[in-house]
Amino acid sequence: MIPGGISERLYAAYNGHDIDALERLYAADGTHEDVAQGRPKRGARAIAEGFGRFLGWFPDAHWEAQEEIVDLHGRIAIPYRLTASLQADMGPISARGQQIALRGVHILHVAGDHIQRSEDYWDASTFQRQINSIETEKKA
């Protein structure tokens, strides 16, 4: 990743669990779409609040960015690996310390020094399999 670039700052905010820093990265009217869930968040504050909810469930979340692919139109693609364990009940899913390890890709649409739009692509089927793992239940 480009040192000091927006993607490096994004992953620093993610891994530092810094909700305020994340909010500052997005344009005030920015959007984030978690494509697997199909629920876009609109506005920097709403994006930050959604991140905070995620950290409530997965307080040990860690993203490992693989590389940064930049195109000529201000878009950046970043393949990543997310690891975490479920530490709080997530709706109907009871927390049992289930481990997740997901591969995904963030697509950032950058305007100036801010993220105008981001899309997060990950495999919901893999997530469901890991979060509902019988093997995890046996270890608990």
For residues 44 and 36, give the distance between their C-alpha atoms in angstroms, rounded to a whole number: 20
Residues in the chain with pLDDT values less than 50: 135-140
| Under 8 Å between Cβ of 105 and 68 | no
Please report the pLDDT score of residue 138 as a whole number: 44
Please report the pLDDT score of residue 140 as a whole number: 45
For residues 10 and 98, give the distance between their C-alpha atoms in angstroms, rounded to a whole number: 25
Name, in order, each residue with C-beta under 8 angstroms of 84's C-beta and a sequence gap of 6 or more. Answer: 58, 60, 61, 62, 99, 100
**For the whole prediction, is pTM greater than 0.75?**
yes
Please report the pLDDT score of residue 133 as a whole number: 77
Please report the pLDDT score of residue 59 as a whole number: 98
How far the first Cα of the chain sits from its last, in Å, is 38
